[in-house]
Structure 1
Amino acid sequence: MDNRGLSTVVEKLLSLSVVMLYITLLTTVLYGGSVPAYQGAVGAELGERVLAEASAEVEHAVPPRGRHVAASRRVDIPATIDGAGYRIRANGTHLVLEHPDEAVGGRARPVVPDRVSNVTGTWESGAETVVTASGSRENVTIRLEGRR
């Protein structure tokens, strides 16, 4: 009985098994550790950038002095950060980014003139976002508004 043809098949099957094992281990390592850590870092960086841009838009919304002030400005923010919806709310003096992932978030204080008495309102991701300024010459209120 001659088994020489069988040794080539066994060799190919063993080689294929080693390659499959290598690919499986590499995939497990990447998706178990490296890729999620990278995605989390990118999400945190994007959150900081969105908060900085939102703060800049609030600063630009303050109109020049006048008897009665009323201005509105549309603001574009991403629909999601790291694949999840988020909220930007104003608490009087700061903008706060709220996200389901604790690594994504933060606070920023817009630099506005003394005549701005209050910054209020909330933006929800995915909605049309607008910042409005209203009030008198010495007392301006900034409001974050979302429209669906």
Structure 2
Amino acid sequence: MDDRGVAPVVGKALEAGIVLLYVGAVAAAMYGSVVPDYRTTAGDAVAERALAAAAEDVEAAIPAEVREATVRADVTLPATIRGRPYTVAVENRTLVLAHPDPEVGARVRLALPASVTAVSGSWSSGTPAAVLVVREHGETVVRLVAR
């Protein structure tokens, strides 16, 4: 029997097997360390940008020096960050984004006028968000509410 015709086919099959093993090893290494780290870093950046934009919306909703006013403004938040829902709450005039991943989160201090006496409420990422500002008797109250 003459097996010389089989040798090139076996050689190419071995080459293809080695290439597949290499690609599999690189993919496993990427998805085992690099990709999750990148997703966490990207999620943290999205959290910071989303919270900064929300803080701008809250600050912009406060009316000028008038006696009485009620302002309701919609706030746009991403539905999820890093594929998971999150919440935004107020702590001492600071918006705080809480995410299930402890490495993803953000804090933004609100720049509010002295007439703002209270800031309260929270938003959930799955619910449309709004800010309600009520100004009565020279005092302003800011509430994070669902639309």
Fold match (TM-score > 0.5): yes
Superposed CA deviations along residues 6-46 of structure 1, whole A, max 9, x for unmatched, are: 21221111111111111111111111111111111100000
Match of 1:123 in 2: 123
TM-score (norm 1): 0.94
Secondary structure of the corresponding residue to residue 33 of structure 1: helix
Deviation of 1:138 after TM superposition, in Å, equals 2.1
Unaligned runs of 5+ in 2: none
CA distance in 2, matches of 1:137, 1:72: 18
CA distance in 2, matches of 1:105, 1:18: 42
Match of 1:105 in 2: 105
Deviation of 1:57 after TM superposition, in Å, equals 0.9
The one-letter code of the counterpart of 1:18 is I
Does the alignment pair 1:65 with 2:52? no
Q: Compared with structure 1, are the counterparts of its residues 39 and 79 closer, same or farther at alpha carbon in structure 2 (3 Å cutoff)?
A: same
Does the alignment pair 1:44 with 2:18? no
Kept after mapping to 1: 8 A contact 2:89/2:122: yes
Secondary structure of the corresponding residue to residue 113 of structure 1: coil
Give the superposed CA RMSD: 1.1
TM-score (norm 2): 0.95
CA distance in 2, matches of 1:45, 1:77: 14
Kept after mapping to 2: 8 A contact 1:69/1:137: no
Unaligned runs of 5+ in 1: none
Aligned residues: 147
CA distance in 2, matches of 1:51, 1:67: 30
Kept after mapping to 2: 8 A contact 1:62/1:133: yes
Deviation of 1:137 after TM superposition, in Å, equals 4.4
CA distance in 1, matches of 2:22, 2:131: 53
Deviation of 1:91 after TM superposition, in Å, equals 2.5
Identity over aligned pairs, percent? 37
The one-letter code of the counterpart of 1:107 is R
The one-letter code of the counterpart of 1:115 is S
